Amino acid sequence: MFEALGSRLDAVFKKLRGHGRLTDKEVDVALREIRLALLEADVALPAVKTFLAGIRERAVGEDILRSLTPGQQVIKIVNDELVKILGTKAVPLEKAPSPPTVILLAGLQGSGKTTLAAKLGLHISKKGQRVLLVAADLERPAAIKQLQILGEQAGLAVHADLESTDPVAIARAGLERGRREADVVIIDTAGRLHIDEEMMDQVARVHKAVEPHEVLFVLDAMTGQDALNSANAFSQTLPLTGIVLTKIDGDARGGAALSATTVTGRPIKFASNGEKLEDLEAFHPDRIASRILGMGDVLTLIEKAESVVTEEEAIVQARKVMEARFDLEDFLQQMQSVKKMGGLGSMLKMLPAIPGVGKISDADISETDLTRAEAIIRSMTPKERADPRVISGPRRSRIAKGSGTGVHQVNDLLKQFDAARKMMKQMSKMRPGKGRKGMQFPGL
């Protein structure tokens, strides 16, 4: 959702880099262009004013005007101010002095509360805590069933009462069960298509009955500033402790994310960036700012990798690469790891731009190619995966039929893999050189 804003800001920075020195006039022009970029991204006016005031205060000064690299100095200032309006630092969930920690989810219908309940529960359970989901949304007919299905997929217990018509009683009973069985209780409440007194009264009564440690407003990033108006309306009834952004993988302009903390005064604690239950990450303002400015988010990428690949597995794979023992079975395992991390597109968005090349788009590398490669490898026998040299003409035809591809596509995969393995062999023969040549690559 930040691609359009990132492109506009990058264009501003390119103009600034072309100047050996910056004058007050050039800074003013840049600030006007940044202002337009933020307004086009649907950022709330109070957030825009705060952001630009912070930049102006630091950019219009002797240090910048006399700097040898004024363009880079301005980029650093913009990055710092982005971090500020996004919340400065990551804010973790509150933890009860004695279990269970109670988390209440609030928001409008369609914001993704029920799915978020399961995502958040899975995220917390991965840290070794027992989680109980409570289905207290009785307004939407399918809400209880949806939470039960999602809970089963995430391996989480769900408290539901299909006979009851009182959400307060269900929430209270869920909390009692949580005191016996769980470390964290997450309560899904009802939403409406718009704010009304009945809904606010209901969620207020649920809040009073369970006295939650966290009250998270689930904000649909696709709805822009309207969502912020809803958040403010909820904050007048409930003591909100934080915000969770959903659907940030969509094509919205990003205004809600950039405005939320400034407008509501509450930190963004999590962001949901996909449809899978694993697609939830803690919100780090500095990392999001880096993504917007095209610097990538390598730390989050590393955390995702660590969640799907153990240190021992990583060491074994690295050793195989350096010893040129990497086979098609290893390649298949790596593709599975990429899928668990959210897919190739998700990973590419976290990589920084490459000097002279720019940002690699997920359109440059097709997920379809990886899916086809996986199908081809899965159609091979263990012996063929370990040693592709045994794959004769008849075997290639069998593999093509089994994977639903053509023989030429099987040949292409084998050629690419053979070329990669040859490159690994060359790398494994690297040895320290002498003099100014440094490392030598025999045969290259």
The CATH number for 154's domain is 3.40.50.300
Q: How, if at all, do strands 131-136 and 268-272 pair?
A: unpaired
- 287 with 200, same domain: the answer is yes
Chain centroid offset of residue 277 CA: 12
Going along 29-170, which residue ranges are E strands? 101-106, 131-136, 157-159
pLDDT for the residue 64: 57
274, 295, 316 — which closes off a domain? Answer: 295
- 267 with 396, same domain: the answer is no
Whether 399 maps to a domain, the answer reads yes
pLDDT for the residue 114: 94
SS3 category, 131? strand
What is the pLDDT tens value at each position of the chain, 444 positions in all?
Answer: 677 788 888 888 887 776 666 677 877 888 899 899 888 888 888 889 988 988 888 876 655 555 556 667 778 888 888 889 888 889 999 999 999 999 999 988 888 899 999 999 999 999 999 999 999 998 887 899 999 999 999 999 999 998 888 999 999 999 999 999 999 999 999 887 667 788 888 889 999 999 999 999 998 887 767 777 788 888 888 899 999 988 887 666 677 778 888 888 899 999 988 888 988 989 988 888 887 876 655 566 666 666 666 777 777 766 776 666 778 888 887 777 777 666 666 666 666 654 444 555 554 556 677 788 889 999 999 999 888 889 999 999 999 999 999 999 999 989 888 887 777 767 666 544 444 444 443 433
d(C-alpha 28, C-alpha 76), whole Å: 17
User: Domain residues for 351?
Assistant: 302-432
Ramachandran region, residue 186 (left: φ > 0; alpha: ψ -120 to 50; beta: rest): beta
SS3 category, 241? coil
Whether 440 maps to a domain, the answer reads no
- 125 with 205, same domain: the answer is yes
Whether 347 maps to a domain, the answer reads yes
63, 86, 109 — which closes off a domain? Answer: 86
What domain count does the chain have? 3
- 81 with 107, same domain: the answer is no
Tokens 């990055």 belong to 79
Task: Spell out the long-range contacts of 33-36 with Cβ–Cβ below 8 A and sequence spacing 24 or more.
Answer: 33/8, 34/9, 34/78, 36/8
- 375 with 264, same domain: the answer is no
Q: Which of 136, 71, 60 is nearest to 293 (CA)?
A: 71
Q: Which residues contact 310 (CB under 8 A, 6 or more apart)?
A: none
* Other Cβ atoms within 10 Å of 416 Cβ, number: 11
- 315 with 404, same domain: the answer is yes
- 402 with 322, same domain: the answer is yes
Whether 437 maps to a domain, the answer reads no
For residue 215 the two structure tokens come to 């009250």
pLDDT for the residue 353: 57
- 387 with 281, same domain: the answer is no
pLDDT for the residue 304: 64
Whether 239 maps to a domain, the answer reads yes
pLDDT for the residue 435: 42
d(C-alpha 158, C-alpha 145), whole Å: 10
- 25 with 63, same domain: the answer is yes
- 317 with 419, same domain: the answer is yes
CATH number (domain holding residue 51): 1.20.120.140
295, 318, 334 — which closes off a domain? Answer: 295
Whether 92 maps to a domain, the answer reads no
Q: Which of 342, 340, 348, 337 is nearest to 272 (CA)?
A: 342
- 372 with 271, same domain: the answer is no
- 132 with 263, same domain: the answer is yes
Ramachandran region, residue 17 (left: φ > 0; alpha: ψ -120 to 50; beta: rest): alpha
Whether 438 maps to a domain, the answer reads no
CATH number (domain holding residue 339): 1.10.260.30
CB of 80 closer than 8 Å to CB of 264? no
